[in-house]
Amino acid sequence: MKSMEEILNGSVDGMAAAIRQGDVSSVELTNAFIARIEAVNPTLNALVMPTFDLARKYAERADQDLAKGEIQGVLHGVPMTMKDSLDTFDAVTTWGTLGRKDFRPGIDATAVARLRAQGAVLMGKTNTPEFTLSFKTDNLVYGSTKNPHDPERTPGGSSGGAAALIAAGASPFDLGTDTGGSIRLPSHYSGIAGIKPTSGRVPCTGNALPISGLTARISQVGPMARRVSDLALLLDIISGPDNQDPYCIPAEQRNYNDVDIEGLRIAWHSDNGICTPESAVVSAVETARDLLTGEGMSLTEARPSGLEMSQLISSRVFNADDGLQVENLLADARTEQPSPLLGSRPKDLPESSARDVATVMNVWDNYRSSMLSFFDDFDVLICPVNATTAIPLEAPIDFSAFSYTMAYNMTGWPGTVIRAGTDANHLPVGIQIIAAPFREDHSLAVAQWLENALGPFAPPAISAW
């Protein structure tokens, strides 16, 4: 029988098995994670809407059901947290905006509902910037979330609350959303695992950003956890159409355990030609390359054709509606005081014409087509997640550094992030494993191999481990 600490620091699947086998009750496990949250959250400000009493009731019900031989699903009795951009029927969901500071949606986001249907127990909501539209996690409702490796730095955004809490050992898993890097960047900054699935793999119904409009096909919901195996388990649960998100399709789900990575054509690069990374970021990519080549695998240094255009194209796509999406979000939420980021948009910009919008769409599709030719020669690409490690809370945003993630929102390709190193400031360094559309199995398989080869890293300074 495993000890409580072994269970708490183990895999999500291991926690579920421990509950089913009677090694620990859902109530005991939930209370243990709540205690961890209470220990680290005063510093981190990662969990912003606790639902502890309700979680204990759900956990008690899970234990009662198990005693009767009733198992709800593969996550029966396992606690979780949830990003505050995803609606929850029984908890306030603010989307990080003042107009919704007391708003109860009355319905779960589709991905949340699917996790609950498998027995997961919600402990509370994690912080996100207003409408998820920032690479830092800060808003006027709850304030700023801190990085557990250094509270003077950001855990990234927009899924920063989720990443910080998982990294600190206070949550087994969470769901993030990724429109420009919002799962992958916090995973890199905070030293955890995360995957942005292929656009259309997971329904975004119930997320802060709408499932309609120019940028709807860019966003994806995806799991964040401490291990690659957890990502695969959770992704299987939340994938598939819900007959509401018009971009979600019934794509085949392949098992990453069936992939022989020695048969994959793997490319790598440490510089995308837009923003040269810090040395620690380059070193992490090269470490992954050397581990693979050391096992006899052949890797090729390469960049997709058209990658150099990604920053220009993404900026034009996000601005093609002249701010209409943000205006609608603020109006629908009845938010009169937007965050400084959203309120700083110049009011005197010339409006885009129909010709301008059509040009943006054509250029975007041509970029996607050019980039796709990469998979004529390769199956997987290993590259940086960002040009830097976690930046200070007040540091300005250099958008070119974020081109490493935004490029693949523009294509819709899946990407898994794992920790692969540590910089001179003891901050985690992640790497990104990109794959062809709907080949998450390739991405996860390489990530799992590298995770095993790299071994464990030291937990953050602020940690409940």
**Alpha-carbon separation of residue 355 from 65, 326, 351, 360, 361 (angstroms):** 60, 22, 11, 9, 10
379 φ/ψ angles, rounded to the nearest 5 degrees: -105, -30
Residue in the block written with tokens 């910037």: 129
Note whether 264 and 379 are within 8 A (CB): yes
| Dist. CA 142–CA 130, nearest whole Å | 10
- 25, 83, 146, 310: the catalytic one is 83
| Cα–Cα distance measured from residue 111 to residue 175, given in angstroms and rounded to the nearest whole number | 8
Task: Look up residue 27 and give its two tokens.
Answer: 């109530």
Catalytic residue among 11, 159, 171, 182: 182
State yes or no: is 305 an active-site residue: no
The structure tokens listed for 204 are: 């975004």
Determine which one of 25, 85, 158, 403 is catalytic: 158
Whether 182 is a known active-site residue: answer yes
Residue with tokens 């995806």: 222
Encoding tokens for residue 328? Answer: 């609608």
CA–CA separation, 55 vs 429, rounded Å? Answer: 33
Q: Which amino acid is at 417?
A: V
CA 97/CA 94 separation, integer angstroms: 6
Lookup result for tokens 């009493």? 53
Q: Are 417 and 385 in contact (CB under 8 A)?
A: yes
Q: Return d(Cα 422, Cα 288) in angstroms, integer.
A: 13
Which amino acids are annotated catalytic? 83, 158, 182
